[in-house]
Structure 1
Amino acid sequence: MNRFLKLFTALLFPFFLFSQNNSQELAQELDQTVADYALYSNKKEEKINILKNRISYTKTDLQKYTLYGKLYAEYKSYQSDSALMYARKSFQIAVVVKDVKKINDAQLNLASIMGTLGMYKEATDILNRIDIKTSPELRGYYFTVNSTVYGYMSDYAASVQEKKKYITLTQKYRDSSLQYYKPQSSAYVMAKSSAFLDAGKHKETLALLLPYFPKIENSSADRAVIAYIISQAYRQQKSLDQEQKWLTISAISDLQLAKKEYISLRSLAFLQYENGDIDRATTYIKRSLEDALFCNARLRTYEISKMLPIINEAYQKQNETNRFQLILFLISVSTLSVFLLALLFLLFKQMKKLSKAKQEISLANKTLSELNQELNTFNEKLNDTNYTLTEANLLKEIYIGRYMDQCSHYIGKLDEYRRKLNVMATSGKMNDLISAVKSKEFVENELAAFLTAFDNTFLQLFPTFITEFNALLIDDEATQLKDGELLNTELRIFALIRLGIKDSAKIATFLRYSVSTIYNYRSQLKNKAAGPREDFESQVMHIGTHLH
């Protein structure tokens, strides 16, 4: 028995795998179709616009009647208000030409679209006025429209008694329509399968529809309807996977034909909600609601509005769960990162020790001449350092004295400026006071005086700076000063670098420029260097020393 079970499982496994892949492909196709809904809507609009443009070229009422009928058909499941308008226009022309069949056909179109719009009284009034005996070829359509309208009314019924009454009428008119449709027609197949379904005969429904479905063209609006009926038969069979598959097929057909009045995608949204796929459920229900509102399909809007809060609440809960999981994940990752950093630190420390040991072994093997050479190099660096320290001490002494003088001078000027503003304020010259406060003249004058003081001090320390600086540049790129200038911006930047201030941000603050401007100046002058570009600033640091 066990061997037989294993063999049976092995035989069924490939079929199960294919079924799973097929379902995933269908789901992905539907997701893409939902995402591309605007593309299909645009195609629909183009088709409608072509028909509308033909109206201006029509000459006879019969031609207009035909065009209005085509526009009604295009708008019927797309935009109910427009469909109603063209159904009325068709009826008006039918009355003018006094063609009974056309009058009845137009009235049936009116009643059908009014049912979609929720105008049930108006629809039933029209149906009651029609003498269908005068148009026997329309009897099937007549009974179908009656069945559809009463079906809508049963969904909206406020009491159990009314619901039963309308369901009875729906089934009665549907059964009557079967007498007037050809057995192989889509209308007959849909009506017959619906009757089977209402009677709980899901096997008979599938036996009728599954062989018929492949014969339906992709461009047919009946494809989605029949796929939906098949899904409901599988629902009665409690075959969830098949129900979901056929609802998906139906929804793809609806969306690709740009139908806005449909049921499959809404039903699929609820199935996805029950399956726990809240993201898809939310996407599908929102698409369904937007399409129902666009079409003005009141029954569909009402049905969706009952489901939307349920799915939306689940979507919010899922977001909260995802957020909590993300926080846990981040905490876990952070903890792991700290652990890895500690591990890397220990590894780095161990490698450093190993490297140090290797260096010590290498140093032990060096020759006496190499040691003497290192000693000489060290002495040269020490002399260099001593000179740099001496120079730094000298710079500090000079700049501290200048800084104290400058600060004392600025304090005096600020006190004088304060007194001037005080006089303006106490004498009531508010306009002068506001102008003085807003004016940048004081700051600009002080900045100019500050830079002049800086230039004087720097050139006292490095009197040959300009000459030696230009010597580092290409001959025709030497810096030219204007009349009265001691240093220009370029020279001040490298004067600060010579003083040991190499950070562009600090130089920018000192000279009141942006960091990018300072960076550009430095790059431009490096490009003008007579020697290697990367050595230019180190050469500047040697200006005024015996090493230059």
Structure 2
Amino acid sequence: MHRFSTLLFALLFPIFLFGQNNFDPLLDELDKTVADYQLYSDKKAVEISKLKGLLNYTSSDVQKYAIYGKLYFEYKSYQSDSALVYARKSFQIAEKLNDIQKINNARLNLASIMGTLGMYKEATEILTTININTTPDLKGYFFTVNSVVYGYMADYAASVQEKEKYILLTKKYRDSSLNLYPTSSSAYIMAKSSALLDAGKYNEALPLLVNYFPNIDTNSPDKAVIAYLISQVYRGKKEPEQLQKWLTISAISDLQLAKKEYISLRSLAFIMYENGDIDRAYTYIKRSLEDALFCNARLRTYEISKMLPIINEAYQKQNETNRFQLVLFLISASILSVFLLALLFLLFKQMKKLSKAKQDLSLANSKLSELNTELNVFNEKLNDTNYTLTEANLLKEIYIGRYMDQCSDYIGKLDEYRRKLNVMATTGKMNDLISAVKSKQFVENELKEFLTTFDKTFLQLFPNFIAEFSALLIDDEAIQLKEGELLNTELRIFALIRLGIKDSAKISTFLRYSVSTIYNYRSQLKNKAAGPREDFEAQVMRIGTNLK
């Protein structure tokens, strides 16, 4: 069943992958942000509503001016018409307060938003009315607004001469602003990097922007602008992957701050179109157009309107292609289903045969396993028998040799003892003869020598006997030999048992002890066994072998 599932998955896997792609995580985040645009717009609307609510609680013109300024800032990239309304209200309050600083700031706000709305004539007229020397603190802002307005006009210029003229004015005002902003400010970084971009000095602009980018607050609109400028550096360096990455970062920031007037998403839409990702291109350009219309950003609407028909046509063609592919896919899937059914039937029959073969093989393996087990047992028994025979042959050889030596020695000693007694008898030393005959000293000496010879011979055969025998006993019951002893009586009893002499009567004759004494010794040592009492002598028989 497992094999069948694997095969089925292998056949269907290409179908599951149909139309699937692995996208960059940044693009996935952008897709989600685009889909959640209403969420960010609602958040923006709540912030604006709170600011408007503050107007109900103040009658101070100074406070109203501050609130109108904040509302202008909130609406600037969100809804240009409303931003213009609050810029004019700010200007009216500033004139009422007769504060030149506030008046010039309000005029600059008006000129800036008019530029966004495409009101270039009105914007330039306002800029010409400003005597910026009366408010030196606003010089940087003044030059920046001029640069931006003339930049819009260059984009809209109808002739090459006008375009070149406005580009020169844009650069002139931008370069003038560089001397008026702190070098650590966003305004300076944007102006400086734009100048380097125009000069084609990409390797100088890139570190300036990239090093500054991490310092920008997430909620700052400057984040999207700086990211866009970084993307343009990579455009100049002809690094499309980095260009797409930074445009995506910029677009995410724009959308999350509910900015409706932007460039990045529109630029990214065209890159998606060139890359063949028509679905994304259509989604991005559609979102860009809706936002530009909502904001009433005329220049952005004009730029998008030139791209939209191209992307829309490609999107429609792709939909037609997708429909054709879907029909083709359904037909292919139907044919494949019939093929799979036939294949499943064949597989089922084959699996039944395979199952029967596996059962037969399993039965044969079981029988073979049983035979192997029996053979292993037989081999073990045969090895034991061979070892026992080998050991017996070795013992016989050694003991036959020792026996012959011992017999020869005893014959010599008996002959010497006979001559000694004969001398006593012939010389008439009857008392000495009687004493010699009655004495057991000769026998005891010979027995002692005999046991010593036995001990040496046995330990020669089993040099580790004492240690291995002691290991079979309880720790505190180990055999303790006296000084000069090779074996004691207890060890000799079990040495004889190890040699195969298990009968207590034979052991008693060999060691010159009574049968009951031998029996007691055997019983006492069995009681001291570390393991089962009944296995003790079997364990003794394994001493000196590899069988434990």
Which TM class, normalised by the smaller chain length? Answer: 0.5 to 0.7
User: C-alpha deviations, 1:356-379, integer Å up to 9, x for none?
Assistant: xxxxxxxxxxxxxxxxxxxxxxxx
Residue equivalent to 2:320: 320
Moved segments of 4+, more than 3 Å: 338-351
Is 1:144 matched up with 2:149? Answer: no
Whole-Å Cα distance in 2 between the matches of residues 344 and 37 of structure 1? 49
Secondary structure in 1 matching 2:260: coil
> 1:210 is aligned with what amino acid?
V
Partner of 1:43: 43
Cα 1:117/1:338, change in 2 over 3 Å: same
Mark the CA change 1:147 to 1:133 in structure 2 (over 3 Å): closer, same or farther. same
Match of 2:243 in 1: 243
Residue 426 of structure 1: aligned partner: none
Give the deviation of 1:22 after TM superposition: 12
Structure 1 residues 179 and 319, CA gap change in structure 2 (3 angstroms): same
| Residue matched to 1:86 | 86
Q: Distance in 2 between matches of 1:153 and 1:350?
A: 78
Separation in structure 1 between the aligned mates of residue 22 and residue 279 of structure 2, nearest angstrom: 21
Aligned 1:487-502 pairs, distance under 5 A: none
Distance in 1 between residues matched to 2:200 and 2:137, nearest whole Å: 31
Aligned to 1:171: 171
1:112-151 → structure 2 map (5 Å cutoff): 112-151=112-151
Alpha-carbon distance, 1:325 to partner: 1.5
Partner in structure 1 of residue 226 of structure 2: 226
Q: 1:346 to 1:268 in 2, by over 3 A?
A: closer
Q: What is the aligned partner in structure 1 of residue 210 from structure 2?
A: 210
> 1:178 & 1:22 partners in 2: Cα distance?
44
Deviation at 1:278, TM superposition (A): 0.6
Asked if 1:68 corresponds to 2:59, the answer is no
Do the aligned partners of residues 59 and 331 (structure 1) sit closer, same or farther apart at CA in structure 2, a change above 3 Å counting?
A: same
Secondary structure at the counterpart of residue 268 of structure 1: helix
Q: Distance in 2 between matches of 1:328 and 1:334?
A: 10
Look up the equivalent residue of 2:218 and give its one-letter code.
N
What is the root-mean-square deviation of aligned Cα atoms in Å? 2.0
Structure 1: gaps spanning 5 or more residues: 1-20, 352-548
1:77 partner amino acid: S
Equivalent residue, structure 2, for 1:160? 160
Gaps of at least 5 residues in structure 2 are 1-20, 352-548
Residue identity matched to 1:82: S
Q: Which residue is equivalent to 1:304? A: 304
The 2-side partners of 1:148 and 1:76 are apart by: 14
Task: Decide whether aligned partners of structure 1 residues 49 and 239 sit closer, same or farther in structure 2, where only a CA change above 3 A counts.
Answer: same
Q: Distance in 1 between matches of 2:290 and 2:340?
A: 50
User: Alpha carbons of 1:326 and 1:99: their partners in 2 closer, same or farther (altered >3 Å)?
Assistant: same
Which residue does the alignment assign to 1:271?
271
Q: Residues 33 and 273 (structure 1 numbering): CA distance in 2 closer, same or farther, change over 3 Å?
A: same
User: How far off its partner does 1:280 sit?
Assistant: 0.6
Superposed displacement of residue 350, structure 1: 12
Structure 2 vs 1, CA of residues 136 and 310 (structure 1 numbering), >3 Å: closer, same or farther? same
**Counterpart of 2:52 in structure 1: which amino acid?**
K
Deviations 1:268-319 (A, max 9, x none): 0111111111111111100100000000000000000000011111111111
**1:330 positional shift:** 1.5
Counterpart for residue 423 of structure 1: none
CA distance in 2, matches of 1:345, 1:130: 89
Aligned to 2:107: 107
Given that 1:181 and 1:187 are in contact with CA atoms closer than 8 Å, whether structure 2 keeps it comes out as yes
SS at match of 1:42: helix
Residue 338 and residue 184 in structure 1: after superposition, are their counterparts in 2 closer, same or farther (change >3 A)? same
- CA distance in structure 1 between the partners assigned to 2:304 and 2:132 by the alignment: 36
Q: How does 1:475-494 map to 2 (within 5 A)?
A: none
Partner of 1:338: 338
Residues 229-278 of structure 1 show CA distances to partners (whole Å, capped at 9, x for unaligned) of: 00000000000000000001000100011100000000001111111111
Q: What's the TM-score once normalised by structure 2's chain length?
A: 0.59
SS of the residue corresponding to residue 158 of structure 2 reads: coil
Which residue matches 2:199? 199
- Identify the residue that residue 255 of structure 2 maps to in structure 1: 255
Give distance in 2, aligned partners of 1:326 and 1:255: 34
Deviation at 1:75, TM superposition (A): 0.4
Residue 323 of structure 1: how far off its partner (Å): 1.6
Larger radius of gyration: 2
Amino acid at match of 1:196: L
Amino acid at match of 2:254: D
For 1:304, the aligned partner's letter is I
Alpha-carbon distance in structure 2 between the residues aligned to 1:26 and 1:273: 17
Give the Å deviation of 1:155: 0.5
Match of 2:125, SS state, is helix
Task: Report if the CA contact (8 A) 1:269-1:281 is conserved.
Answer: yes
Residue 453 of structure 1 is matched in structure 2 by none
For residues 85 and 230 of structure 1, the distance between their equivalents in structure 2, rounded to whole angstroms, comes to: 33
Report the CA distance shift for 1:49/1:341 in structure 2 as closer, same or farther (over 3 A). same
The residue that corresponds to 1:56 in the other structure is 56
Q: CA deviation at 1:344?
A: 6.9
- Displacement after TM superposition at 1:43 (Å): 0.8
CA contact (8 A) 1:146 1:170 kept: yes
> Following the alignment from structure 2 to structure 1, what is the Cα–Cα distance between the partners of residues 178 and 350?
90
CA contact (8 A) 1:34 1:287 kept: yes
Letter paired with 1:240:
P
2: CA distance, partners of 1:316 / 1:34: 21
Give 3-state SS (helix, strand or coil) of 2:179's partner: coil
TM superposition shift of 1:333: 1.6
Instruction: Give the deviation of 1:338 after TM superposition.
Output: 3.3
One-letter code aligned to 1:130 = I
For 1:51, give the aligned amino acid: L
Alignment of 1:450-529 (within 5 A): none
Q: Alpha carbons of 1:151 and 1:335: their partners in 2 closer, same or farther (altered >3 Å)?
A: same
Partners of 1:347 and 1:203 in 2: how far apart?
A: 64
C-alpha displacement of 1:340:
4.3
Cα drift, residue 336 of structure 1: 2.4
The 1:163/1:343 distance shift into structure 2, 3 A limit, reads same
Aligned to 2:294: 294
Deviation string, structure 1 residues 416-465 (Cα, Å, up to 9, x no partner): xxxxxxxxxxxxxxxxxxxxxxxxxxxxxxxxxxxxxxxxxxxxxxxxxx
1-structure distance, mates of 2:348, 2:244: 58
Deviation, structure 1 residue 337: 2.8
In the alignment, is the contact (CA less than 8 A) between 1:23 and 1:245 conserved in 2? no
Paired residues in the alignment total: 331
Distance 1:348 1:106 in 2: 84
- Counterparts in 2 of 1:22 and 1:227: CA distance versus 1, 3 Å: farther
After superposition, what is the alpha-carbon deviation per residue over 1:106-132, rounded to whole angstroms, capped at 9, x for unaligned? 000000000000000000000011111
| 1:486-511: CA deviation from partner (whole Å, max 9, x where unpaired) | xxxxxxxxxxxxxxxxxxxxxxxxxx
Instruction: Please show how residues 366-377 of structure 1 align to structure 2 within 5 Å.
Output: none
Q: Which AA in structure 2 matches 1:312?
A: N
CA distance in 1, matches of 2:149, 2:350: 85
* Deviation, structure 1 residue 339: 3.6
Describe the SS at the equivalent of 1:56.
helix
Give me the TM-score of the superposition, normalised by structure 1.
Answer: 0.59
1:488 alignment counterpart: none
Distance 2:130 2:113 in 1: 16
